[in-house]
Amino acid sequence: MARRRAPGALEAEVLAALWAADRSLTPEEVRRQLPGELAYTTVMTILVRLHEKRAVRREALGRAYAYAPLLDEAGLSARRMQALLEGGADRDGVLSRFVASLDENSRSALRKALGPEP
């Protein structure tokens, strides 16, 4: 059974779901995208908060709103971060990646450990 999320973690998950979609999503669609049983109002609250912070934009869709990630301010930090990484900011282990790149030996060992693709 999955544990409860921290409040900040849920915001990141909602935003991640919006980024993962190729179009705007209604709160109900976002809710269905997230694992676990979340209340509609919980998702709605987070979307409103993200909108106030100018992290997402919304458009009227019938009587509700549909939400999509907003690129302006988020795009600025993404560009800065990308430039840092291309300059090798993670080379000395200052920033640790989720996974580092692997050589061929490690890759085949990993494939073996994980077994056949489901």
Binding positions for other proteins, rule: CB under 8 A? 1-3, 5-6, 8-9, 11-13, 15-17, 19-20, 33-35, 50, 53-55, 69-70, 73-74, 76-78, 80-86, 88-103, 105-107, 109-111, 113-114, 118
Q: Which residues contact 23 (CB under 8 A, 6 or more apart)?
A: 66, 68
Q: Which residue lies nearer to other proteins by CB, 63 or 112?
A: 112
Strand partners, 64: 61
Tell me the two tokens of residue 64.
Answer: 């509700």
Q: Which residue lies nearer to other proteins by CB, 60 or 105?
A: 105
Burial 34-59 (b: 16+ CB within 10 A, else e): beeebeeeebbebbeebeeeebbbbe
Q: How far is the CB of 76 from other proteins (least distance, A)?
A: 5
Q: How far is the CB of 63 from other proteins (least distance, A)?
A: 26
Q: How far is the CB of 59 from other proteins (least distance, A)?
A: 18
Q: Which residue lies nearer to other proteins by CB, 64 or 80?
A: 80
Q: Which residue lies nearer to other proteins by CB, 63 or 117?
A: 117
Q: What Cα–Cα distance (Å) separates residue 56 from each residue in 16, 60, 72?
A: 11, 13, 10
Q: For residues 14 and 86, give the distance between their C-alpha atoms in angstroms, rounded to a whole number.
A: 28
Q: How far is the CB of 73 from other proteins (least distance, A)?
A: 5
